[in-house]
Amino acid sequence: MPANIQKKQLFLASCLALLVTSLSFGIRAGILGRLGEKFSLDAQQLGTIAATAFWGFPLAIVIGGMIVDAIGMKKLLIGAFVFHLAGIVLTVLATGYWSLFISTLFIGIANGTVEAACNPLVATIHSDNKTTKLNHFHLWFPGGIVIGTLLVFFLDKIGIGWQVQVGLMIIPTLIYGFLFNKLEFPVTERVSSGISTSEMYKSLLNPLFLLMMILMFGTAITELFTGQWIDVLLKNVTDNAILLLTIETGVMVLGRAFAGPVVHKLSPTGVLLLSAIFAAIGLYLLGHTTGNMLFVGAFVFGIGVCYFWPTMLGFVSENLPKTGAVGMNLIGGAGMFAVSLYMIFMGGYYDKLQAAQLPAGSTLQAYRDPSATPAMVSALNEAKKAAGPEIINATLTIPIILIIAFTALFFYMRSKKQAQVQSFSNSIA
Digit-coded pLDDT (tens) for 70-104: 888 899 999 999 999 999 999 889 888 888 889 88
Note whether residue 382 is domain-resident.
yes
pLDDT for the residue numbered 429:
54
Note whether residue 289 is domain-resident.
yes
Query: Which among 34, 220, 1 has a CA at the least distance from the CA of 126?
Result: 1
pLDDT for the residue numbered 399:
96
Note whether residue 429 is domain-resident.
no
Note whether residue 427 is domain-resident.
no
Note whether residue 45 is domain-resident.
yes
pLDDT for the residue numbered 427:
61
Please compute, for residue 183, the number of CA atoms within 13 A of its CA located in the half-sphere on the CB side.
25
Note whether residue 1 is domain-resident.
no
Tens place of pLDDT per residue across the chain (429 aa): 566 678 889 999 999 999 998 888 777 766 777 777 788 787 778 878 877 877 777 888 888 878 888 888 899 999 999 999 999 999 889 888 888 889 888 998 998 899 888 988 998 888 888 888 888 898 888 888 778 878 877 888 888 888 888 888 999 999 999 999 999 888 877 777 777 888 888 889 999 999 999 999 999 999 988 876 776 667 666 667 767 877 888 898 898 888 888 887 888 899 999 999 999 999 999 888 888 888 899 899 999 999 998 899 889 988 888 888 888 888 988 888 898 888 888 888 888 888 888 887 777 777 777 777 888 888 887 788 777 788 888 999 999 999 999 999 999 998 887 777 666 556 665
Q: What is the CATH number of the domain that holds 142?
A: 1.20.1250.20
pLDDT for the residue numbered 213:
94
Looking at the structure of the chain, the number of domains it has is 1
In angstroms, rounded to a whole number, what is the distance separating the alpha carbons of residues 256 and 117?
20
What does pTM read for this prediction?
A: 0.77
DSSP for 79-106 reads: HHHHHHHHHHHHHHT--SHHHHHHHHHH
Note whether residue 422 is domain-resident.
no
For residue 129, the 8-state DSSP code is S
pLDDT for the residue numbered 13:
92
> What is the domain extent for residue 267?
7-417
- Own/partner contacts of 175-182, CB < 8 Å, gap of 24 or more, are 175/16, 176/13, 176/16, 176/17, 176/19, 176/20, 176/77, 176/81, 177/78, 177/81, 177/85, 179/9, 179/12, 179/13, 179/16, 180/13, 180/17, 180/74, 180/77, 180/78, 180/81, 181/78
Note whether residue 46 is domain-resident.
yes
